[in-house]
Amino acid sequence: MPKKEKEEKIRYNSLVVDGVKYKTLLTQKFINRPIFKEKDPGMVKAFIPGTILKVRVKKGKRVKEGDLLLILEAMKMRNVVASPVDGVIRKVLAKAGDRVSKNQLMIEIDHEFKS
C-alpha cells in the first residue's frame, strides 16, 4: 500500500506588485513561519562566546561609528568590538571579567539616522 501523503491546508491570497494583482497560494507552513524582525544596529551583541577584558564606554557617552566599545577575548584572541552606528550609549550591560554567550546583549546605543 502506498504511503498517505500529508495534506497541507492551502489558502489563496492576493498580492499586488507594481500595480498588478496576482492570486497566490500560501501553505500552512508559510503562514505559521516566524515573522521577520529587522535587527536594530544599536544593539551590540556578542558574536562569539568569550570573556570581556575591557569596557571603554560608559552610559551617556557619545560615540561615532567605528569607535572602540570593548575588548572581547574568545578562543585566545582579543576581538575589538567597535560601534556600528553614531549615537549615545543607553546601557552598558557587560563589565570587565564577565563571561558572555553568543548573541548576548552587551551594549545598547541610541543611534541617530542620517538623512
Give the CATH number of the domain where residue 84 resides: 2.40.50.100
Mean pLDDT of 67-86: 96
Whether 61 has a pLDDT exceeding 80, the answer reads yes
Residue 32 lies in a domain: no
Residue 22 lies in a domain: no
Residue 14 lies in a domain: no
How far is CA 23 from each of CA 10, 15, 35, 99, rounded to the nearest angstrom? 13, 6, 21, 51
Residue 61 lies in a domain: yes
Residue 77 lies in a domain: yes
Per the structure, the complete domain to which residue 100 belongs is given by: 43-111
7 — pLDDT class (breaks 50, 70, 90): low
Q: Which of 51, 49, 112, 106 is nearest to 86 (CA)?
A: 112
What pLDDT score was predicted for residue 81? 96
Residue 21 lies in a domain: no
Residue 85 lies in a domain: yes
Of 2-16, 25-39, 45-59, 101-115, where does mean pLDDT reach its minimum? Answer: 2-16
Residue 81 lies in a domain: yes
Q: What's the structural domain count of the chain?
A: 1
User: What is the pTM for the complete model shown?
Assistant: 0.67
Q: What's the whole-number average pLDDT of the chain?
A: 87
What pLDDT score was predicted for residue 31? 80
User: What are the tens digits of pLDDT across the range 83-104?
Assistant: 999 999 999 999 999 999 999 9
**Separation CA 28–CA 7 (nearest Å):** 10
